[in-house]
Amino acid sequence: MTSRGRCWKFGDNIPTDQIVRSDRAFASIPEMAKHVLENLNPAFARDVQPGDILVAGKHFGQSSGRAIAPKALKATGIAAVVVEYAARLFYRNCFEIGLPLLECPGITDGVSDGDTLTVDMTAGLVRNETTGREFRARPIDPFLMGMLAVGGLIPMASRLAGEG
């Protein structure tokens, strides 16, 4: 699971309310995607290309646990989210809906907006192609890697419920 794309860089402590504004919570996911992160960088939703990579700082996706925030991000076509660390519910939701997420300490100091990044989910590596620097991500639980591999929680739910 390797992808290469432009880095879109955001800051620390971004709540889900800033990813999808709560007054848009009843819209369709593609409609939300057109306005995602609008208050922080209006150019992102307009110019993001499939395969691009979103980088953010500490406690990304805090606040509400609505999965519409990662769903709207996934609908923009981004290949992965790379953060210093994510809020718990956002982390869980990303794997449940099939959006690759890596927690990569030091990433915000190591990349600039517009750099080209390569993300290798399986190896847990992020490489800044613009500067040549490499960053190692925190390991992901094999259970969650398995969930990502089948495309999220829904395809594996019946088997999982049977095991419990």
Partner 1 sequence: MNLVEKILARASGRLKVSPGEVVVANVDTLLLHDLSGYITSRVFENEVKLPMRYPERVAMVFDHHFSPPNEERANILEENRAFARRHGIHLFDCGSGNIHHVGVRNGFVRPGTIVVGSDSHTPVHGALGCFAVGLGNNSHAAMVMPFGKAWFRVPETIQIKLSGRHKPVVTPRDAALWLTGQIGEGGAVYKALQFTGPYIKELEIWDRWLFPLITIDVGGKCGYVEPDEKTIAFVRTMTEEPFDLVTSDPDSEYEAVWEYDISELEPQVAASPTLGNVKPVGAFAGAPVQWAELGGHGGGRLEDIRQAAQILRGRKIAPGVKFNIVPSSRPVFAEACREGLVEILHEAGCSWFPPCSGSNQAINMGAMSKTEAMVSTHARNFPGRNGSPDAMMYLGSAYTVAASALKGCIADPREFWNKGGTV
**Residues at the interface with partner 1 (CB under 8 A):** 13, 15, 17-18, 21-23, 25-26, 39, 58-59, 62-68, 85, 87-89, 92-93, 96-97, 141, 143, 152-154, 157-158, 160-161, 163-164
Comparison of 114 and 146: residue with beta carbon closer to partner 1: 146
Closest to partner 1 by CB, 22 or 112: 22
Least distance from partner 1 to the Cβ atom of residue 75, Å: 14
Distance CA 75, CA 102 (A): 18
Tokens of 8: 């879109």
CA–CA separation, 10 vs 12, rounded Å? 7
Please give the structure tokens belonging to residue 144: 């969650």
Q: Measured from the CB of residue 39, what is the shortest distance to partner 1 in angstroms?
A: 5
Report the C-alpha gap between 81 and 103 in whole angstroms.
9
